[in-house]
Amino acid sequence: MAVQQAESPVQPARADGTVVAILIAVSVCHMINDIMQSLLAAIYPLLKDGFQLDFWQIGLLTFAFQVTASFLQPVIGIYTDRRPLPYSLPVGMASSLTGLFVLAFAPSYTLLVIGSMLIGLGSAIFHPESSRVARLASGGRYGLAQSVFQIGGNFGQALGPLLAAFIVVPFGQSSVSWFTVLAAVGIVLLIRVGRWYGAHIRERAQRKATGPAARALPTRTIVLALTVLMILTFSKNVYVASIQSYYTFYVIEEFGVTVQQSQVMLFLFLAASAAGLILGGLFGDRFGPKVVIWFSILGVLPFTLALPYANLAFANVLVILIGLIMSSAFSAIVVFAQELVPGRVGMVAGIFFGLAFGFGGIGAALLGVIADQRGIEYVFWLCSFLPAFGLLTIFLPDTRPDRTAG
């Protein structure tokens, strides 16, 4: 997309038409948003002891967050597709900032629930519009733009528990408020992003009005394709959640490694996943998102099937390959869905950042129940078959020729 630099109050750097400064800004803010999200779960032990909570009350905090963070996203995305709200981005970050303050100084459980919902609301507002900004700033490199945007969130999810361990645990619940400094930085960045975005809404509308129309697909084909993409995202998220939540327990029980060694093995997976995100975006722009989806979801199946039978050394290799290959799918799935329904970037982002991740989290919770009943080894044996859902990619239409992004 050509962006008229003279119209923009922000003068960003460019690379092949891609507005680099904007992509970096939304990626950094994605990291901040997901740090605040992950802090909530990381401080559960403190809240449980401090407020004498039962496990069902901890679960209710997660439910309050998930309902607002996951299930409001499609609603907000659908609304902003019709009425873009550039300055909703800093408003969403301000909601998360307020939620942190409430969590830091809440004197009652009711306020803890409200704080969780405020953080969830901030996330629900942030994801659809920031995903739209990433696409607008992509210069046509949609896969790369979504990957850069998503990698910020991945870093945020990884950093949140570490920051909680080294800051919140030693200094107590009130130290959660210190992270509002990060939120304030995010608000400043998003005000500038919103200014840039607002300056380009009119130009974007004119381009749509004068440019060639996208090739329309039958409604039945679109619905089937979106359903397949949702299933693929769900299966991918459940497998990733099984690694993030239970892999350390698995290697400790299976190989007798120390807690520190198990954390290093988990880090290998997370680092490989970060690299896979970028590679997936690059290859998706070069070969098309459908090719990447085939390779990422189904192509990882031999490695997931081998993992439950691997020794320690081979498991380290496999977990790197799984992270690298599987993570490459996400940007391709989002870009593919956006091509299916041009002009519905917010709705697509809401579905795949919100609903799909929410349902994936529910699936991961069910794995915990299975682990209690059948053992952690059974969980990884069962999850090893999840990438077989990649066969459903055969039902995805070919959208690459004659498509223009909205």
Q: In sequence order, what are the beta bridge partners of 135?
A: none
Q: At what angle do helices 259-287 and 142-163 cross, to 10 degrees?
A: 170
Q: What are phi and psi of 304, to 5 degrees?
A: -70, -35
Tokens of 371: 């682990």
Between CA 119 and CA 36 the distance in angstroms is 7
CA separation (Å) from 66 to 167, 230, 372?
25, 18, 23
**The amino acid at 186:** G
Tokens of 108: 């009652």
Give the pLDDT of residue 335.
84
Which segments in the chain show pLDDT lower than 70?
A: 1-18, 55, 202, 204-216, 355-358, 360-361, 364, 399-406
State the residue for tokens 């709705």. Answer: 347
Between CA 320 and CA 324 the distance in angstroms is 6
Give the pLDDT of residue 110.
93
**The amino acid at 239:** Y
Mean pLDDT of the chain: 82
Give the pLDDT of residue 209.
47
Superfamily of structural domain 219-395: MFS general substrate transporter like domains (1.20.1250.20)
Give the pLDDT of residue 216.
67
Domain ranges of the chain: 5-210, 219-395
Give the pLDDT of residue 305.
95
Give the pLDDT of residue 15.
40
What DSSP line would sit under 289-317, residue for residue?
HHHHHIIIIITTHHHHHHGGG--HHHHHH
Between CA 387 and CA 406 the distance in angstroms is 30
Q: Are 60 and 113 in contact (CB under 8 A)?
A: yes
Other beta carbons within 10 Å of 308: 18
Give the pLDDT of residue 99.
93
Q: Are 339 and 357 in contact (CB under 8 A)?
A: no
Give the pLDDT of residue 114.
94
CA geometry: angle at 236 spanning 235 and 238, to 5°? Answer: 65
Domains 5-210 and 219-395 share a fold: yes
pTM above threshold 0.85:
no
The dihedral region occupied by 114, where left means phi > 0, alpha psi between -120 and 50, and beta the remainder, is alpha
Q: Are 382 and 370 in contact (CB under 8 A)?
A: yes
Name the residue among 281, 323, 306 with its Cα closest to residue 385. Answer: 306
pLDDT tens-digit map of 37-76: 878 877 777 888 888 878 678 778 877 887 788 788 888 8
| DSSP assigned state of 138 | S
Q: Which fold has domain 5-210?
A: Growth Hormone; Chain: A; (1.20.1250)
pLDDT tens-digit map of 87-134: 899 999 999 999 999 998 999 999 999 999 999 899 889 988 888 898
